[in-house]
Amino acid sequence: MYSIFNQNHPLSIEMGPPNVFRFRPPNENTLSELAENYVWFSDRDSLNDELDSNPEFVKLSTNPEELQLLYNTIAESILDEKTKLYFDRNMDLKTLQEFAETKIKPFVSSFGIACFTMYPMNKDLWEIYADNHKGVCLHFDSAADPTFFHNVLPMHYVSDIKKREYNAISEPNHIIDLFYKKTEKWSYEKELRLLKDRTGRISFDSTSLLNIILGYDAQPKFVEAVINIVKTKYSKANVYQAVAPVSIGRFSYKPLHLQTS
């Protein structure tokens, strides 16, 4: 048995950048993600916090200059002459703003979100996201797959989520800030968030998965399935099982499958 706080032994589970951790429940989706080395990126409507990345907190700028920039950008992109003529005749700045406002929600929902954390010894995360220690914590080296983990960033926890004005043309990336703020009630998660331009399956390099830590209440059938996947799919990953109890001050684990190479 090993303690995560003893970072000197050869089977230590390292923390701090570039190490990131992801908690998953003991179900077929988790086994599928492992077997096919992908992470599922959800849309914001699937998140468990209704304030998280909520498009209701985004307001399109009413600045006439900004609206004119938006108008010009759209007009210049229209190549069909009849469509261009219709646009010029029927689309004034007020109408354009009203139309653009309806596109904010689907635009926000088009982004894919995956949640990671800084530490594996988070008791609450084991309970909430790993089904009371029956699931698993996946340990990644984000530096081993810089393309997949590009821009994995810590969440900012604030007292209130405030409405922000969005300048679609002059500050197109400003809306990304919406995805990286949560209220302080969620600060215990110590979340690292990864954002993609689409939802669904996105593959990671299998060499970036360093360790799989099973919860101390993981059922034998799930444990066996995880180990079998690791043996066939991951040449560098070790499998451990947490030892109860788990807390910020205590996290021990035992090896279940160690790579020989």
Give the lowest-confidence range in 80-84, 137-141, 219-223: 80-84
Rounded Cα–Cα distance for residues 153 and 143 (Å): 13
230 CB-near residues (< 8 Å, 6+ apart): 34, 212, 237, 239, 257
Q: Look at residue 174 and tell me whether its pLDDT is greater than 80.
A: no
Give pLDDT tens digits for 87-113. 778 778 788 778 778 888 888 899 999
pLDDT score, position 80: 77
pLDDT score, position 76: 80
Annotated domain spans of the chain: 2-39+115-161+171-257
20 CB-near residues (< 8 Å, 6+ apart): 116, 117, 118, 139, 140, 142, 149, 152, 192
Q: Look at residue 117 and tell me whether its pLDDT is greater than 90.
A: yes
Task: Please state the rounded mean pLDDT for residues 47-76.
Answer: 84
Q: What is the mean pLDDT of the chain?
A: 89
- Partnered with residue 60 across adjacent β-strands are 166
Q: Look at residue 218 and tell me whether its pLDDT is greater than 70.
A: yes
181 in Cβ contact with 159 (< 8 Å): no
Three-class HEC string of 163-224: CEEECCCCCHHHHHHHHHEEEHHHHHHCEEEEEECCCEEEECCHHHEEEEEECCCCCHHHHH
Q: Look at residue 216 and tell me whether its pLDDT is greater than 70.
A: yes
pLDDT score, position 206: 96
Q: Degrees (nearest 5) of the Cα angle 118, 123, 127?
A: 110
Residue type, 101: E
35-39: long-range contacts (C-beta < 8 A, 24 or more apart)? 35/229, 35/233, 36/201, 36/203, 37/203, 37/204, 37/205, 37/206, 37/209, 37/233, 38/201, 38/202, 38/203, 38/204, 39/114, 39/194, 39/201, 39/202, 39/204
